[in-house]
Amino acid sequence: MLIDKYKPDAISVEELFFNNNAKTAINVAQARGVVLIVGCKNNVPTFEYTPLQIKQAVTGYGRADKIQVQKMVKTILNVENLPKLDDTTDSMAAAICHAHSCKFSEKL
Closest CA to 39 of 13, 62, 14, 61: 13
Q: Is the pTM of this model over 0.95?
A: no
pLDDT digits 0-9 by tens, 48-97: 999 999 999 999 999 999 999 999 999 999 999 999 888 899 999 999 99
pLDDT digits 0-9 by tens, 5-14: 999 999 999 9
Class of domain 2-107: alpha beta
In order of 48, 69, 71, 99, the CA distances from 74 in angstroms are 22, 9, 5, 16
Q: For the chain, what are the domain ranges?
A: 2-107
